[in-house]
Structures are given as structure tokens and as C-alpha cells.
Structure 1
């Protein structure tokens, strides 16, 4: 009988109604296609292994996925959310306890009396006829799923930041090499000018001008040496451990064309819905939707059951052979009559929270669209800008060579050489910055489209 009662209780709880609002995904408040030439665009998607082609960087990212503390914290948050969901879901099922008790007492009238009892009990189980516990369970499950996407977004962000830091180190290595090259060239120029002054064909101001370029380059060498060390520290922090020098990059020029690869993909803006932050926002919205159902259920009666069944005897030895059957069944119903407006306030709060999360969801989509649009807009002009900058550097190098030959021949002043030298240095630094921007843009485009971080 007791087992039939438990089954009957579980059957009633499963057959409850749901008061959750009918969920409809909000329309994406962005254009149907990503921006680009004639409405077309080249995007990037895929797992990070499809994008990160440099073997050294690939190993560093793999290290970070196992050791980065932000990723570990996100994984712990998933475990916590899953446990909370399990705790909430447990309220859908009866709690069955087994108890064996015994007592022995002495009275003047009856002498020594012994009693023993074994019970199986269902403790105050709530029949979920109006779906309150089901709604709370759904809300906890959606919160758990949202934490899964939070962790995915954490991994995605970490991969992007680590790859960017790795490219930044390569760029600073290039700037350091350029500063050292400029310093050596300035030192050679300084020697030439000093010899020219010794023979009377150069003024003292030419020597001081050459010295200023040398000292400026020398200061830049020291500055970029500091930046390189700081870049390595940043990589170690993101990787969660010390990265061997063999896995660190050289200069930008030493990197292959496919260090960061673009993988073609479709142009529909619906691809943005796969971004982890958008998925997270939608699961938070679904959780709020379920909370409305739970708040609505508070207006309806609550039915609770307490039941037990077992055997009793005046001795333990005869408990299960000659014991008497005992049982109890105590249903109760609670009808909310006056709560001081608490139930209505909870419902209004849940509805307002859902409205806010709808706005958050739509804003997340809009922000994602802007990220992709900005990255694509930058990508359209990068190739032309890089080509122009390379041509500019080549022209300035030629200008410096000519100016130096004319100065050595005595047909030009040193100010022309000095101007050409500084202009070339600035142009070379701009070229390095553009090369870094081009690689960073590939990373940003992959991340903004929600590339896989598994």
C-alpha cells in the first residue's frame, strides 16, 4: 500500500499544469545580412584550431585552456549551477525515509515495557498541481545552461586575449629590432659626421643632430626591451603558467601568412545567434520566463502530504514476523487569502525582470552586430593601406640613401639626412603597427562572430 501511495503521489506531481508564459524568441533588432560590399562579406567561424595555424601559438592556447584561472573559475561556476539545479529539481520527488526506533521503560504498575517500530515515511511532499516547483526547476536549469555559455564566452575571450598578446609580443620584438637597427645606423652616421667635422666639412650642429638621433634610438631600445618583458608577463598570466621561450614568437616579419587564418563563412546575421554571450542572454531570459510561472502559481492552493507506514512490536525479535501494521496519512491544503501584496509584488518583479532581460538580449545582439560590422569595415581597407605603407617605407628608404650620398659628397646639408632618417623610422614603425592591426583584426573578427572555443 505504501509503495502504491508513493507512485500515486509521483503521478500527481508529474501531471501538473504549467503557468509559464508562452515563450517566443525576440526578433533580432539588426539587419538580416552582415555589412560588406554589395551586401556581401567574408566572415570567419570555426574552432580556434582552424584559425590558429602557428604550431607554437597553438600549444600556448592549449596550455591556457587547462591552466587559465578565469577558465577554471567559469568551470567551477558551471558545477555550482548544475548542483543548484539538482537541488531544486529534487523538490519534484517525494522524500522517502526509513526509520527504526525502540524504547524500553519501567513503571510501578506494569513493570518493564519494551516497544519497537520500523517506518517508511514521506515527509511533507508538495503536490505540484500548478507547476510551481516545475517552473522553479526550469528556471534553475536555464541558469545552469547560461553558466555553460558564460564559460564558453570566457574561453573565447581568453583565446582572443592570449592570441592578441602573442601578436603584440611579435610586434614589440619588431619594434625593438627596428630601434636597434636605427641606433646602429645612427651610430654609423655619427662617426661619419665627426670625421666630416674633423676635416672641416661639417658643423658642430651636425654632430649634435646626429647625436640626438642616436640617443633617441637608444632610449627606444630600452623602452621596447621593457615592453617585451611585460608582454611575456602578460602571456604567462593568460596561459596560467610560464610559457617556454621556444613557444614565443620572433618578429612580425618572421610569422607566416597563415599564423591567423580567415575561414570563409556565410553572411547572414543569424550566425550571431550562436555567439556564447547571446546564448547566455537567451537562457537568462528563459529562466526569467519560468520564474513568472512560479510567481503565478503562488496565487493557487498548496497541497502537502505527509504519510508513513510500518510495523510495531513489543520486542525487536518479533518486529517483522508478528508485528502490528501501523500507518498514518496526513494531507494538508494551504489557500493564500491575504499576503499583504507579497505574491503580486513577486509576480510584478518577475515580469519586470523578464522585460529587462529582453532588452539585455536585444542589446547583446546589437553589440555583436556592431563588433562584426566594425571588424569588417576595417578589413576592407587594410590590404590597400598595408600596400601603400610598404611603398611609403621603400620610398623613404630611397630618400635617405640619396640624402646620405649627397651629404657625403658635400652637395647637401645634414638636416636633409636627419629629416629623412626620422621620417623613415616613423614610417617603419607605422608599418609594424599596421601589420599588427591586420592580425588583430583577424582575431577580432573570429571572436565577434562567436568562433568555437572548444
Structure 2
């Protein structure tokens, strides 16, 4: 028993020798490949006072005020299949990490068995044929690798980074989902407004057409006036059919994003000017904003995993120590299985050292190093793409208010022109062609105003997304 104890103490010492260090290169975060300030110029507004809370820390329930939109986002977070797949990928990656981590510990199996054997005369020590019965029970460690050079631990670290990357991927999917629902909701509202303007225009032009036809029958108007009135009437009909299609397609797309059919009470009727309570957005420094985005954190996790994999590839050049052991009882009689003389043990350490493997280990090391370099490039690219997304959103934000003010002024002026043209025509001062031109200009200006208002609200959603907002409270 003392000898057995010494052997297991020696095995325990080997386990302690397998320290926490690995042969992976020391990780250092790559330098940011973008400037440490956002672009400046005529398209960009000067930043105001920094916000009390970064936009990335503002929960979506605090950012969006429209109650119907809030209900849609809540429904999408419950029903959307992309988000569901992302959550399941986390569970899968967690299980894979636990599998890889389990290799750090010995796997102890309990065994019990019985063997019944007939020995012929030639194999029997007594020279006579005999029946042999053997019984055994015990505990055993099967092929446990003592991780002296950190190969198993490096693989465990890689699996951990893969698991963390899937969590960041889920956050990215959720942020994109919130943005998609909000953008789809705004597009549907804008198309509803466009459809309403087309219907109002059709109703007004129908009245004008009927009046012109009556004037023609009375000999006051010409056939040219009637045909000119017909053109804008038909144009409105075309737009009604077109916008009716757009509304149906918007609903279909929004239903797909949400992951469930939409009830009528969740449908917007017009663009809401109270989409969010935030009027000004201060993005902060790129180094503070970009490195907190989940897609960039995901790229960094993958980079750390590739760096850890180099440690496993390096450790493959060194000896691998494997332990096999068992302890238990064995006897030829079942009744004597647990007697003092039935105790049995075995301890079989094994060392394997690669001598010639045709360059496979060197090639594996090269592959792991190239994978790490690829991950560095993807990490830097993710930062560059994020920088561009934020810069584009800031450029639009810097000019959209001026564009909206100009378009509103243009629409008001066009409406006044139409009113005066109609009044002059009614008094016989101008031709009906001027009225039609004014009506067309007003219709186009109203449609363009909706587009600019949509762009302004969508820009707020985009800024919220690219600055990392939209996660849980």
C-alpha cells in the first residue's frame, strides 16, 4: 500500500508540474488603423457637450419612444430566427468549450467485469483442462495527458475565445435586429404617407377634372384643358397602385424581420416625429466608441483564439506524457473479491517524442501563425469599416437638418404657387397649364419632403446602431 501511495503521489506531482503557462505568444492588442478623431469639414457639425451616458449604454427602450415600435422590437427579440440561431450558437460554443476544458482533468472510470474461460490441457499449468473464472472491480484513469507544455491549455483558451466571440456575435445580431425593425417601421410609415398623399391628390384632381369637363361642356374650357387634367389624374392613379404595392412589401419584410405576423394595431400610419427623445448625439472619441462595438470585440476574441492556437502548435514539437492507471480488486472467486489479497493496481506512464513526421508539425505551426495574421487583418478591417459607418452617419447628420429645412420651405412655396395659380386660372388670367405645372411641383415636393423626413429619422436609428446601441438594459 505504501508503494502504491508513492506512485499516486508521483502522479499528483506530475499534475502539479503542468502549470498554467502556455507556449502561446504574449497577446497585445493591435494598434488602431484609423485616426483618433472623426472627420471634419462642411458636412460635419461641431460636437456639442459630451452626453452624460454614451449612446452604446442607452437601452433601446429608453431610445425609442413610439409605443408601437417598442412592441414590434419586443416581439422581434422573442420571435426572430436569426437571433434565436445566434443564442443557440452560444449554447453550442459553451458546450464545446466545456468539452475542451475537460481535457485538463483526468477522466476516472469505474469498471466491473467477469471473465469465464475454458483452458485446454496444453495451456493449463496442471496439465489438465480446467474452467477459470475471474472477477474484478476498480477505478481507472484512461490516457490522461500531463500538460507540461500547455498544449491542452492552449486549446482550452482557443475554445474559450470562440465561446466569447459567439456571445459578441449574438449582441451584434440583436443590435442589427433592433435597427432593422426600426428602419422597416419608418419605411412602412413613409410609404403609408406617400400613399395617402397620392390618394388625396387623386381626390382633388378628380374634382378638378370633373369641373374642367363641366366647363368644356359649357364651352368655357378647351379639350386641351381636359386632357391636361387627365394626365395628373392618371399619374396619381399610377402612384396609388405603386405605393399600395410598396406598403404590402414593407409589411411582408417587417413580418419577416419580426418573425411573426403583424396585427393591425402595430401598423404605423405616419412618420412619428417623437421617434426618440435624443436631439443631439455626441459620438465621443473613436478609440472609446469603436473598441466597444460587439463586432469588433468579436473580431478580437477570434484573434485571441488564433493566438492561443499557436501555443498548441508549438507544444506539438515537445514530448507528450500520458498516464494510464487503475486500482481495484480481482479474484477467481466472487466471494473473495474484496479480501485483502485481492487488491490490484497498475500505473503506466508513457512518453512520446516526435522525431520524424514529414514536416507536419512545422506546417501546422505555420498555418496557425498565418491564421493569426489573417485574424489581425480582419480585426483591423472591422475597425476601419466601423469608422466609415460612423463617419457616414455623422456626415448625414451634419447636413440633414439643413436639407429638411430647405425642403420644407420649398414645399411651402410650391403650395403657395399652386394656390395662386389656381386662383389666377379661376379668374381667367392664366392658362390651365400653369395650374397643372404647379400641381405637379407640389406633389413632387410633398413626396420629397417625406423622403427627407424619413432620412432624418433613419439617420438617428443608424447612429444608434453604429455607435453600439441596442443591447439589453
1:309 counterpart residue number: 327
Q: Which runs of 5+ in 1 are unaligned?
A: none
2:249 counterpart residue number: 230
SS of the aligned residue for 1:410 comes to coil
Partners of 2:470 and 2:270 in 1: CA distance: 28
2:259 counterpart residue number: 240
Q: In the superposition, relative to structure 1, how do residues 413 and 74 fare at CA in structure 2: closer, same or farther (>3 Å)?
A: same
**Which of 125, 138, 162 is matched with 2:181 structurally?**
162
* Residue correspondences, number: 451
Say whether residues 1:98 and 2:98 are aligned partners.
no
Partners of 2:365 and 2:46 in 1: CA distance: 45
| Root-mean-square deviation over aligned CA pairs | 1.9
Partners of 2:356 and 2:439 in 1: CA distance: 86
CA displacement 1:246-282 (0-9 Å, x = unmatched): 1121112xx2424474574551112111111100100
Say whether residues 1:74 and 2:91 are aligned partners.
no
SS of the aligned residue for 2:103 comes to helix
The within-5 A match list for 1:185-196 is 185-196=204-215
Q: Does the aligned pair in 2 maintain the 1:50–1:261 contact within 8 Å?
A: no
1:377 counterpart residue number: 395
1:294 counterpart residue number: 312
Q: In the superposition, relative to structure 1, how do residues 237 and 258 fare at CA in structure 2: closer, same or farther (>3 Å)?
A: closer
CA displacement 1:32-66 (0-9 Å, x = unmatched): 12345686367843221121111111111011111
Higher mean C-alpha displacement, 102-111 vs 297-306: 102-111
2:33 counterpart residue number: 29
SS of the aligned residue for 1:125 comes to strand
Q: In the superposition, relative to structure 1, how do residues 259 and 218 fare at CA in structure 2: closer, same or farther (>3 Å)?
A: farther
Partners of 2:441 and 2:311 in 1: CA distance: 69
Say whether residues 1:10 and 2:15 are aligned partners.
yes
Q: In the superposition, relative to structure 1, how do residues 25 and 216 fare at CA in structure 2: closer, same or farther (>3 Å)?
A: same
SS of the aligned residue for 2:357 comes to coil
Q: Does the aligned pair in 2 maintain the 1:10–1:93 contact within 8 Å?
A: no
| Shift in Å, 1:244 | 1.4
1:351 counterpart residue number: 369
1:399 counterpart residue number: 417
**Which of 57, 62, 83 is matched with 2:74 structurally?**
62
Partners of 2:73 and 2:79 in 1: CA distance: 10
Higher mean C-alpha displacement, 317-326 vs 273-282: 317-326
Q: Does the aligned pair in 1 maintain the 2:178–2:470 contact within 8 Å?
A: no
- What TM-score do the two structures reach when normalised by structure 1? 0.95
| Shift in Å, 1:341 | 1.1
Partners of 2:388 and 2:465 in 1: CA distance: 13
1:220 counterpart residue number: 239
Partners of 2:107 and 2:91 in 1: CA distance: 24
SS of the aligned residue for 1:92 comes to coil
Partners of 2:365 and 2:166 in 1: CA distance: 25
SS of the aligned residue for 2:77 comes to helix
Say whether residues 1:120 and 2:120 are aligned partners.
no
Q: Does the aligned pair in 2 maintain the 1:52–1:261 contact within 8 Å?
A: no
| Shift in Å, 1:4 | 4.5
| Shift in Å, 1:290 | 0.3
The within-5 A match list for 1:119-198 is 119-198=138-217
Partners of 1:396 and 1:69 in 2: CA distance: 47
| Shift in Å, 1:322 | 3.9
Q: In the superposition, relative to structure 1, how do residues 398 and 266 fare at CA in structure 2: closer, same or farther (>3 Å)?
A: closer
The within-5 A match list for 1:45-56 is 45=56, 46-56=58-68
SS of the aligned residue for 1:338 comes to coil
Q: Does the aligned pair in 2 maintain the 1:10–1:94 contact within 8 Å?
A: no
Partners of 1:385 and 1:16 in 2: CA distance: 60
